[in-house]
C-alpha cells in the first residue's frame, strides 16, 4: 500500500505535504543531478588569522552591565556593527530593486553538511551517508555569491560544526568579503575555543537550536548537555558584537519546555524564534521516523498548542524579544490545521540554498527535489517555473525566513523600517529588517 494511504489509515501526519501532482513533478525529474564545471582556482580558503582582534579576546566581558541594558532593550551597537548589518541586508535589498532581471539573492543558505551528530525524531534534514561540502565548493560558492547581490550567508546542515575548522575558514573568508554571517547549531560542538574563533572571524548571529531543557525521547537538542557552552556564548556576545537567539521547534511533547526555554531566554536577554513541527514537504527516503513519531502534532493536540501559542503572544506583547511577530504566531494555529493563505514567497529570486554538492534549489523544504535549478556559477531559476510551483507549495509552507522576506520585500515597509531605525541611531539593528 502506498505510504500516503498507510498514513491516512493510521491518522499519522502525511509523509509529504505537497499536492501529489507537484510532488511527482519535483521529485521524479528524469535528468541526473547537474555537475559543477571544473575549477580554475586552487580550491582552498586562506588560513584564517586568529585572533584578529586580540584586544577583544582580552577585554573584560562587562556582562552584568550589558545584560541589564539588553534586557531594557538598550543594547549598544557600534558603528562598524551597524554597517555590517546594513551592508548585509539593506544594500542588497536596494540593489535587488533597481538592477534588471529577476535573480538578485539577498540571503543564501550554504549546506556545508548533510550529516548530524544528533537524531531529532522530526528531522529529515540529515543523512549520515552523504559527504559534506568540499572546501573547493564552499569557496567557489562564496565567490559566486559575492559576484551577485547576496551578502547574507547562513551555514546549514545537518550540523555545520561537525567540521569547525571549515566553518572558521569559510566565515573568515566571507566576512572579509562583506558577508553578514549566520550560524545555526545544535551547540554540542560549540566549545569556548570554537566560539572565540567564530566570533573573532565575524559571525553575526548564533542560532542556538534547542527544543527541551533536558534531553527527552525523540528530542535530542536540549539545553542541559550544552549549558556550559551556552553560558560562555552569551557572556561573550557583547564584546564581540554578535547576537544569540534560541530556535525552538514546538512539538507535541515539549510544550512545557517551550515555556521554560522562553523564560530562560528572557532571563539572559536573548530573543527566541519558534517553529511549528511539520512533516516533510517532500517525501524523504532516508527519514527513519515516519511511523509512531512522538513529536508530530496530531489533531488531539491542537487545543494545547493553541494555549501555548496564546501564552507566547502574551509574552511577545509584554516585551519578550521574539523573531516571530504576533501575526506570525497567530498564523501558526491556522497552519497547524492545514490552512495557509497564498503569500509573497521570494525563494529562487531573493533567497536560495546551495546543497553540499554545489547544486541549487529555491529553499530548504525543496532540498530533496530533483528538479534542475542549476549549480553555483550557473543558476537556472526561472520565474514562470517558480510561480507555477508556488501556486501549490505556498499553501503548505510556513517557512519563517521566506515569509519574513516576502513581507519585507516592499519599499514602503523598508522605508518605514529605515526611518524608525534612524530615529534611534540604528540601535535596533540586530540583523534582518523583519
Ligand atoms: S540537530 Fe538539527 S540537523 Fe541534527 S537531527 Fe536535530 S534538527 Fe536535524
Ligand atoms: S512557498 Fe517558497 S519557501 Fe515554501 S516550499 Fe514553496 S518555494 Fe519553498
pLDDT digits 0-9 by tens, 202-225: 999 999 999 999 999 899 999 999
Chain segment 248-277, per-residue pLDDT in tens: 999 999 999 999 999 999 999 999 999 999
Please indicate, yes or no, if residue 182 is contained in any of the structural domains. Answer: yes
Count: domains in the chain: 1
Q: Is residue 104 part of a domain?
A: yes
CA of 355 to the centre of ligand 1 (A): 16
pLDDT at 400: 81
**38: its cell numbers:** 571544473
In a domain, 84, yes or no: yes
Within a domain: 183 = yes
Residue 428 resides in a domain: no
Residue 431 belongs to a domain:
no
Give me the CATH number covering residue 254: 3.20.20.70
Half-sphere exposure of 87 (CA within 13 A, CB side): 16
Is the model's pLDDT at 416 over the cut of 70?
Answer: no
For residue 433, is it within any domain? no
Query: Which H or E run contains 250?
Result: strand 243-250
Residues contacting residue 2 through CB under 8 Å, at least 6 positions apart: none
Residue 433 has pLDDT above 70, yes or no: no
Q: Which residues contact 433 (CB under 8 A, 6 or more apart)?
A: 89, 90, 93, 408, 413, 414, 417
Q: Is the CB of 405 under 6 A from ligand 2?
A: no
Q: Is 428 exposed, middle or buried (0-12, 13-18, 19+ CB in 10 A)?
A: middle
The answer to whether residue 350 is domain-embedded is: yes
Q: How many angstroms is it from 402 CA to the middle of ligand 2?
A: 7
| 3 state DSSP class of 205 | strand
Probe residue for ligand 1, chosen from 113, 114, 186 as the CB with the greatest number of ligand atoms within 8 Å: 186
Question: Residues with Cβ < 8 Å from 400, sequence gap 6 or more?
Answer: 273, 275, 323, 324, 328
C-alpha cell at 375: 549549480
Question: What is the reported pTM?
Answer: 0.92
Asked whether 349 lines ligand 2 (CB < 6 A), one says: no
Of 116, 115, 124, which Cα lies nearest the Cα of 15? 124
Q: Give the mutation target among 154, 159, 187 for probing the ligand 1 site: most ligand atoms within 8 A of CB.
A: 159
Q: pLDDT digit string (tens) for 86-124?
A: 888 888 888 888 899 999 999 999 999 999 999 999 999
The protein residue with its alpha carbon nearest to ligand 2, atom 1, reads: 394
Domain containing 367 equals 3-423
Name the phi and psi angles at 296, rounded to 5: -70, 145
Amino acid at each position: 500500500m502506498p505510504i500516503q494511504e498507510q498514513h491516512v489509515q493510521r491518522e499519522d501526519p502525511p509523509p509529504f505535504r505537497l499536492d501529489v501532482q507537484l510532488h511527482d513533478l519535483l521529485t521524479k525529474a528524469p535528468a541526473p543531478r547537474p555537475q559543477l564545471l571544473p575549477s580554475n582556482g586552487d580550491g582552498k580558503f586562506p588560513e584564517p588569522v586568529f585572533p584578529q582582534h586580540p584586544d577583544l579576546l582580552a577585554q573584560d566581558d562587562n556582562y552584568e552591565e550589558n545584560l541589564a541594558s539588553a534586557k531594557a532593550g538598550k543594547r549598544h551597537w557600534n558603528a562598524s556593527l551597524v554597517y555590517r548589518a546594513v551592508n548585509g541586508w539593506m544594500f542588497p535589498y536596494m540593489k535587488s530593486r533597481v538592477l534588471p532581471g529577476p535573480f538578485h539573492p539577498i540571503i543564501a543558505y550554504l549546506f556545508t553538511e548533510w550529516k548530524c551528530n544528533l537524531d531529532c525524531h522530526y528531522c529529515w534534514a540529515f543523512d549520515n551517508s552523504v559527504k559534506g561540502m568540499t572546501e573547493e565548493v564552499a569557496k567557489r560558492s562564496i565567490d559566486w555569491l559575492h559576484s551577485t547581490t547576496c551578502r547574507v550567508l547562513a551555514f546549514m546542515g545537518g550540523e555545520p560544526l561537525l567540521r569547525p575548522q571549515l566553518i572558521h575558514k569559510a566565515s573568515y573568508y566571507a566576512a572579509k568579503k562583506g558577508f553578514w554571517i549566520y550560524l545555526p547549531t545544535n551547540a554540542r560542538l560549540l566549545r569556548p575555543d570554537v566560539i572565540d574563533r567564530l566570533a573573532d572571524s565575524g559571525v553575526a548571529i548564533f542560532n542556538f537550536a534547542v527544543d527541551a531543557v533536558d534531553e527527552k525521547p525523540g528530542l535530542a537538542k536540549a539545553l542541559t548537555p550544552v549549558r556550559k557552552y551556552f553560558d560562555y556564548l552569551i557572556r561573550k556576545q557583547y564584546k564581540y558584537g554578535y547576537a544569540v537567539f534560541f530556535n525552538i521547534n514546538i512539538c507535541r511533547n515539549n510544550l512545557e519546555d517551550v515555556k521554560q526555554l522562553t523564560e530562560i531566554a528572557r532571563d539572559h536577554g536573548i530573543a527566541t524564534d519558534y517553529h511549528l513541527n511539520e512533516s516533510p514537504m517532500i517525501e524523504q527516503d532516508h527519514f527513519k521516523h515516519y511511523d509512531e513519531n512522538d513529536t508530530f502534532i496530531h489533531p488531539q493536540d491542537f487545543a494545547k498548542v493553541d494555549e501555548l501559542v496564546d501564552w507566547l503572544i502574551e509574552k511577545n506583547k509584554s516585551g519578550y524579544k521574539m523573531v516571530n511577530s504576533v501575526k506570525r504566531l497567530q498564523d501558526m494555529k491556522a497552519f497547524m490545521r492545514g490552512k495557509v493563505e497564498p503569500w509573497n514567497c521570494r525563494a529562487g529570486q531573493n533567497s536560495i540554498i546551495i546543497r553540499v554538492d554545489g547544486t541549487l534549489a529555491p529553499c530548504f523544504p525543496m532540498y530533496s527535489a530533483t528538479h534542475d535549478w542549476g549549480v553555483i556559477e550557473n543558476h537556472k531559476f526561472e520565474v514562470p517555473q517558480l510561480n507555477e510551483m508556488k501556486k501549490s507549495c505556498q499553501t503548505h509552507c510556513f517557512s519563517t525566513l521566506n515569509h519574513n522576506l516576502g513581507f519585507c520585500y516592499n519599499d514602503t515597509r523598508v522605508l518605514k523600517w529605515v526611518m524608525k531605525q534612524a530615529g534611534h541611531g540604528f540601535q535596533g539593528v540586530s540583523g534582518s529588517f523583519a
